[in-house]
Structure 1
Amino acid sequence: MLLKEITIQNYRKFKNESFSMADDVTLLAGANNSGKTSMINFIGSIMQNGKTPFLISDIPVKLSKQWVDEVYDIFMSCFNESQDTLSTVESIVNKLFITELTSLHSDVIIPTTSIRFKIDYNANDDIRKFADFIMDLNPENKSFYFEYSFRPTKISFGQALEDNFNKLYTRYKKIKALEDPTSKIDQFKEILLSIYEASILEKCYFSDSDYIDKVEIEVSVFRRLFNFKYINAGRPLDDQGTGNFKSLSKNMIELATHNEKLGPLLENLPDQILSPIQDAKIIDEVRDVSVKSLSDAVKTIDKASGGNTGNIIIDIDINEDTITSLLNQITNTKYQYEGYFLNESSQGLGYSNMIYILLQLETYKRKIDPLLVNLFVIEEPESHMHPQMQRVFGKYLKDYYLQKKIQGLISTHSGEMVRLTEMKNLRVSRPLDHLESKIYDFSTFKESLSGDTTLDTFYDWFYEIGFSDIVFADRVILYEGDTERLLIRKLLTLDTYEELSQKYIAYVQVGGAYAHKYSKIINFLKIKTLILTDLDYKKDAVTIEAVEESETTNATINSYYGESKRDKISYST
């Protein structure tokens, strides 16, 4: 079972974004504040146990503001009718939600926040746990479709409105009493949004491929279809500065407990430990020192409380849990180097981060269930690592996922991680503005090059040189030589270009014969780009007159201007 596609609608910065999942590792790259972390957290909270945290702030700001501005007049008009609480609530709800009398109108609510999952299987997969969710009986369609949504119902909204009615009505009366009620109107709208938040229900469905014909299922049933593990960027590492100790040792013990040889040893160990403790009469001494003296005081007090306290005794309970706890306390991870033993924290957080992730992967590998969708997610594995270490570890991670046949999703803002990833496995989250982001699926971009062997080869060749910078850039400058780059750097120090200097600019050195080949990626990512290139007149033009009559031989100029002018541009132009 493999997760093949995710579609996210109306969640924070994402309006309606889809991206495919690779069979091995999908890399989600993006700059800070591009939305990638919030999206991964959202996916993780849906696939794990417990109520998914969902707030009004998780709804795109444009949608929530549009809704509250639209329904304000509806609420005010219903309050103006001066009915009792229940009648006013009913009147408002009937205006917002479809009823028999208003069946020609759609609900006046915020568009649903949802996330959709397409799960594929092949002929050899055991689909017993998914069999109940087959919607399409076409044997050629080997996919399951699920939708997880967040929206209010007529009943839940009515209940939330009734619970907050007095607070809302108080603001209404103040608005009517003031000549300039602006601040009270804002407060009124804030309460409306809090009512909306309180009314949101999470629901899950399996559906057809168009997500139209849907059947509701229990959230817990949906979650049992996934074996999901998520390592977030705030993972615990051994750091004496924060009081975090022996995190690697604890994870090594956790990994060892899954070993089939360790189980029988742990079962016999409690009796082996208990026997010498009893022989040494340690418990008897403890009783004499503590329990007996304490019992005398208890008996004295007991007389005043009715004599129902009972006697104090002391006993030893040793089991597998206490043994594991003991192992955690007495085990220390150390690094041996040239005869010296260094503590766990001696190698720095970057190294500890790497070991921690590897331990989590090894533990997860032992829990893989072929009947489920197994997905291992890592947020920013490059944390605390210098570039060379990022590169080596990134390559190891890529190979590990592939060899162990683990489907993974990795988020990153590391250029080194991007360089290591095949283009077809790359997904990029980029902000369109402060309120909206878009996800660019490079598997579709790679497919678009398949008919052009030359261009496909070009992107494979130049992928590691300047491509990763373009992925994260706000602007791109293509230039031919170091002189141009030095000039641009100097210009950006001028006050005139202060705004531009604050943006992340990708400098890509490429000759004029090749710069136009970047047009595909520039257009795909919709990045504003400046190209600095030579005019390149014909080599046999050796006089001023011949140069002026010459046409440019620069492929980039001819490509861009030629397309718009449908003619070659002369040098004199």
Structure 2
Amino acid sequence: MRLDSIYIRNFRLLRRVSLDLTADLPTTVLVGPNNSGKTSVMDALRLFAGSDTDTKRISLHDLSQTRLKVFKSIEARLSKLAETEQKIEVLRRFAPRMRLDLFFSYGEDVADLVVATDLLMSLDPSSNRVRVRIEYGLENAKALLADFEARHRKDDTLCDFLNDRYRDYFGRTFYRVSEKGDEAEALKDGGVLKRLLRIDIIPAQRHVDDDESRQAAKLSRLLHDHYTRYYKVGDAEGFNAVEDALRDSATGLTKVYEGAFERLNKRLKGYGYPPGQTTPDLRIRAEFSSQAIYQDHTRVYYASEHKTAEGPVEELILPEKYNGLGYKNLIFMVLQLESFLAAVEASAVDRPRVHVIVVEEPEAHLHPQMQYVFINEISKSLEVAEGVVAQVILSTHSSHIIANSGFDPVRYFRRSGRDVSIRDLSKLTVPTPGVLDFLRRYIKLTHCDLFFADKAVFVEGQVERLLIPAMIEECANAEGCTGFASQYISISEVGGAYAHKFKPIIDFLGVPTLVITDMDSVDAAGEKCPVGDGANKRTSNACLKTWLPAKEQIADLLACDDAAKIHGRIRVAFQVAEGGNCGRSFEEAFVYANADWLTANHAQLPATGPAIAKATTNGIAAGAWDLASKLGKVDFALDLIGKPGWKAPKYIRDGLEWLAKEGIGS
């Protein structure tokens, strides 16, 4: 049995979202910028489908902000009514509800069928799915009305009144629901859900630090769980031997205690006791238990082998605090996973049919290589003897984890204003053969920071990639661009021949994107040539020809206005006329935009200054075409980084100002 998908309504940012879990893989990976709703999905599972203790943590502020406004309209309706029953009916009808729907698929296993039978809404033999709804809504409208009218102060709103009393009147109701959602029947309680689903969480706040005593206690507790659930079951004879040894030690120590406390016992008897009662003896016994030993008297040490100068290997043993935070974090997560799986295995009678483990941001303190292999290793650790495999929902900000995940398990979260959308990368389709494979390989080989970016910039080559950060800082000073430099902007070098291949994934993710590319003018023979007036010349740039603005003739490109360069949330930027000239490449356009600055400062550009100095003889702008071909790209970029004061070419300034003003969540 598996959890196939999750539907959440009116919970925090998640007004109406659906999350499909991977069908053929154990792990679903949630990615996206901060505050895009990833943690809210995990919290919804924990608060609605978790234990009763978790449910008690639900508060009024978990309700979507857009739904909180409903209480204001309810209060206005109540003020116009006189009859109590009418007011109660208004509360019942309009009080907002939060909802979590869980979709499960089941197989032919008898235990699966037993649970599924309690949830079936149809006898259609072609269907193998059931749906459970957990709704958090108003349960006691009469009490809410009476208390609100009797106890609220004059200036209190209904929201103010409910702020600390929300759980007094609202609670969970469980339903079995038809697959299409058009029929629902209330369940007596959540008993069937407990037989169906177990949720365990490894939170992002794991408090793994260098406080030896506190962290050792945590690891020791997890070690004890592992000891009792695996060692006790897997090697009963060995387990009993340990327990017998503890009892023998306690018996021996008790005899020692008798002698040590004999003097104290005699003194206590000398103080007398109430008449008619026998003075009791004080008996001191040593009592050991494996749980106490692990939790209070066990410390974790690390052993490593080192070769000495003489040749033999020495073993060094160091206390836990001398190991790095990353390794402590890894041990903690592995022990938690083992503990979760052991708890399920130990539930021989009431074992839940579906086990979901939620892992938040496992990359904390882990070095990149460990992050890279984490997905594979966690999949292996989920395999247990009976073949039961837990499902994992994992949120991450690690580009290394995504790089080794591929497309299929990735679910991308994007926030637009107060709404969140979730995009399933396994459903990304590309009509052009080979493009999807190219994108998969690109995601695997790069740092994948596009999934966490507020905005994206695709550049032609190394020079632009190195200089764009400085240009962004310059742009942030322009009117209407305040805060641009503080946004997380992904910069990718893709080249003019490949930029158009990213169109499917950019459209799919919806990230505001600027594509900076070159005019790449060629003559009738296909040879490089200056842009000039553009007559009888065309571009060799695949991005400009096939994507934006989808024009090939240089004259047509020069005639493009801003609207022609924009499609949805994507804008292309290529060279435009500046100072009466239009460059073919970034270097040529830069010369036209900074002719005076280069003339005055070339002596302070160690790598490219000599070539620039020669070009100043007849006027640097006049020789820009020849000069651009003589400037080493990386050398030129590094020279410019070391000597600020120049300005970005106009086509890049225009593009960056558009990107700065394009809303992140619009």
TM-score by length of 1: 0.82
8 Å Cα contact 1:20-1:441 kept in structure 2: yes
Structure 2 equivalent of residue 470 of structure 1: 450
- Range moving further from structure 2, 382-391 or 1-10: 382-391
Query: Comparing 43-52 with 516-525, which one deviates more in the overlay?
Result: 43-52
Q: 2:224 matched to which residue of 1?
A: 253
SS at match of 2:186: strand
Give the distance between the partners of 2:554 and 2:531, measured in 1 at CA. 20
**Secondary structure of residue in 1 paired with 2:172:** strand
Structure 1 pair 265–461 and aligned structure 2 pair: CA distance change class (3 A): closer
Q: Which amino acid aligns with 1:4?
A: D
Between the aligned partners of 1:296 and 1:41, the Cα distance in structure 2 is 62
Q: Deviation of residue 275 (structure 1)? A: 4.8
Q: Which has the higher contact order (CA 8 A, sep 6+)?
A: 1
2:521–2:531 Cα contact (<8 Å) kept: no
Counterpart of 1:437 in structure 2 is 420
Give the direction of change, closer, same or farther, for the CA distance of 1:24–1:568 in structure 2 (3 Å limit): farther
Partner of 1:38: 40
CA separation in 2, counterparts of 1:32 and 1:407? Answer: 24
Q: What is the aligned partner in structure 1 of residue 545 from structure 2?
A: 558
1:514 and 2:498 correspond: yes
2:556 alignment counterpart: 570
Query: What secondary structure sits across from 1:130 in the alignment?
Result: helix
Residues 535 and 554, structure 2, Cα contact 8 Å, conserved in 1: no
User: What displacement does 1:431 show?
Assistant: 2.2
Would the aligned equivalents of 1:246 and 1:344 in 2 still touch at CA under 8 Å? no
1:163 Cα deviation from its structure 2 partner: 2.4
Aligned-partner residue type, residue 69 of structure 1: K
In structure 2, what residue type is equivalent to 1:455? V
Q: Distance in 1 between matches of 2:557 and 2:224?
A: 73
Q: CA deviation at 1:7?
A: 0.9
1:195-234 to structure 2, matched below 5 A, reads: 198-217=168-187, 218-234=189-205
CA offset digits 1:140-170 (Å, max 9, x no partner): 21112111111114xx0221221232223x4
- Aligned letter for 1:57? H
1:9 and 1:16 in contact (8 A); partners too: yes
2:132·2:176 contact (CA, 8 Å) conserved in 1? yes
> Which has the larger displacement, 31-40 or 530-539?
31-40
Once the two structures are superposed, the pairs formed by residues 322-401 of structure 1 within 5 Å of their partners are: 322-337=289-304, 338=306, 339-368=315-344, 372-401=353-382
Q: Is the 8 A contact 1:561 1:569 kept in 2?
A: no
| Structure 1 residues 549 and 276, CA gap change in structure 2 (3 angstroms) | closer
Match of 2:637 in 1: none
Pick the aligned partner of 2:58 from 51, 54, 77: 54
Structure 2 CA distance for aligned equivalents of residues 343 and 241 of structure 1: 8
Gaps of 5+ in 2: 307-314, 346-350, 560-666
Deviations 1:412-433 (A, max 9, x none): 1111111111211001222223
Identity over aligned pairs, percent? 23
CA distance 1:295–1:379, shift in 2 (3 Å): farther
CA deviation map 1:4-34 (0-9, x unaligned): 1111111000111111111411111133322
Q: How does 1:66-105 map to 2 (within 5 A)?
A: 67-78=70-81, 89-97=84-92
The residue type paired with residue 379 of structure 1 is E
User: In structure 2, the residue corresponding to 1:164 is in which secondary structure?
Assistant: helix
Contact 2:223 2:294 in 1 (8 A): no
What is the aligned-residue RMSD (CA, Å)? Answer: 3.1
Q: Secondary structure at the match of 1:492?
A: helix
- Counterparts in 2 of 1:566 and 1:55: CA distance versus 1, 3 Å: farther
Kindly tell me: are residues 243 and 275 of structure 1, through their superposed partners in 2, closer, same or farther at Cα, counting changes over 3 Å? closer
Corresponding residue of 2:577: none
Q: Return the match for 2:438 from 458, 474, 499.
A: 458
Q: Does the CA contact (< 8 Å) of 1:126 and 1:371 recur in 2?
A: no
Q: Whole-Å Cα distance in 2 between the matches of residues 272 and 465 of structure 1? A: 55
For the structure 1 residues 473 and 191, does the alpha-carbon distance in structure 2 shift closer, same or farther, using more than 3 Å as the test? same
Task: Assess, with a 3 A threshold, how the Cα gap between structure 1 residues 44 and 69 changes in structure 2: closer, same or farther.
Answer: closer
1:535 and 1:276 map into 2 onto residues whose CA distance is 84
Cα distance 1:273–1:222, how it changes in 2: closer, same or farther (>3 A)?
closer
Counterpart AA for 1:377: V
Deviation of 1:472 after TM superposition, in Å, equals 0.5
* Structure 1 residue matching 2:373: 3-state secondary structure: helix
* 1:396-545 correspondence to structure 2 within 5 Å: 396-401=377-382, 405-433=389-417, 435-445=418-428, 448-449=429-430, 451-466=431-446, 468-494=448-474, 495-496=477-478, 497-538=481-522, 539-540=526-527, 542=529
2: CA distance between counterparts of 1:349 and 1:32?
Answer: 23
Q: Which of residues 62, 67, 81 in structure 2 aligns to 1:63?
A: 67
Give distance in 1, aligned partners of 2:80 and 2:102.
42
When the two structures are aligned, how many residues end up with a matched partner? 526
Structure 1 pair 269–295 and aligned structure 2 pair: CA distance change class (3 A): farther
CA deviation after TM superposition for structure 1 residue 269, in Å: 5.0
Pick the structure with greater CA Rg. Answer: 2
Distance (whole Å) between structure 1 residues aligned to residue 354 and residue 442 of structure 2: 35
CA distance in 1 between partners of 2:250 and 2:160 (Å): 65
CA deviation digits over 1:445-472, x for unaligned, max 9? 2xx23x5432211211211345721110
Query: How many angstroms apart in 2 are the aligned matches of 1:440 and 1:544?
Result: 42
Q: Secondary structure at the match of 2:226?
A: helix
Cα displacement string for residues 450-500 of structure 1 (whole angstroms, at most 9, x for unaligned residues): x54322112112113457211100001010112223332222223224411
Seen in structure 2, the aligned counterparts of structure 1 residues 344 and 566 have a Cα distance that, compared at 3 Å, is same
Distance, in Å, in 2 between the alignment partners of 1:72 and 1:479 is 55
The separation in 2 between residues aligned to 1:532 and 1:483, in whole angstroms, is 12
CA distance in 2, matches of 1:471, 1:388: 19
CA distance in 1, matches of 2:294, 2:553: 78
Paired residue for 2:150?
166
Normalising by structure 2, we get a TM-score of 0.72
Report the Cα offset of residue 205 of structure 1. Answer: 1.4
CA distance in 1, matches of 2:405, 2:127: 30
Instruction: Tell me: CA distance 1:567–1:165, structure 2 relative to 1, closer, same or farther (3 Å).
Output: farther
The CA deviation at 1:401 is 4.1
Q: Is the 8 A contact 2:14 2:420 kept in 1?
A: yes
2:8 is paired with a residue whose SS is: strand
Q: 2:5, 2:104 within 8 Å by CA — same for their partners in 1?
A: yes
Question: Which residue of the partner structure matches residue 179 of structure 1?
Answer: none
Distance 1:243 1:478, change over 3 A: same
Deviates more, 1:56-65 or 1:197-206: 197-206
CA distance in 1, matches of 2:494, 2:179: 44
Aligned to 2:27: 25
Cα distance change on mapping 1:48 and 1:467 into 2, 3 Å: same
SS at match of 1:160: helix
Q: Is the 8 A contact 1:7 1:19 kept in 2?
A: yes
CA distance 1:567–1:60, shift in 2 (3 Å):
farther
- Confirm or deny that 1:131 pairs with 2:100: no
Alignment check: 8 A CA contact 2:373 2:401 kept: no
Unpaired runs of 5+ residues, structure 1, are 82-86, 98-106, 172-183
Q: What is the deviation of 1:552?
A: 2.3
Any idea what the Cα deviations from partners look like across 1:57-107, whole Å, max 9, x if unmatched?
A: 001112112x133123223234xx5xxxxx5x434213344xxxxxxxxx2
Equivalent residues of 1:535, 1:552 under 8 A apart = yes
Shift in Å, 1:533? 0.5
- CA offsets per residue over residues 172-215 of structure 1, 9 Å max, x none? xxxxxxxxxxxx3x656522666665321211112210223222
8 Å contact from structure 1 (residues 68, 192) kept in 2: no
Whole-Å separation in 2 of the counterparts to 1:544 and 1:262: 80
Matches of residues 288-327 of structure 1 in structure 2 within 5 Å? 288-294=262-268, 297=271, 300=273, 302=274, 311=280, 313-314=282-283, 316=285, 318=287, 322-327=289-294
Q: What displacement does 1:41 show?
A: 2.3
Compared CA separation, residues 164 and 547, structure 1 to 2 (3 A): closer
Whole-angstrom CA distance in 2 between matches of 1:293 and 1:4: 71
Asked if 1 retains the 8 angstrom alpha-carbon contact of 2:220 and 2:294, the reply is no
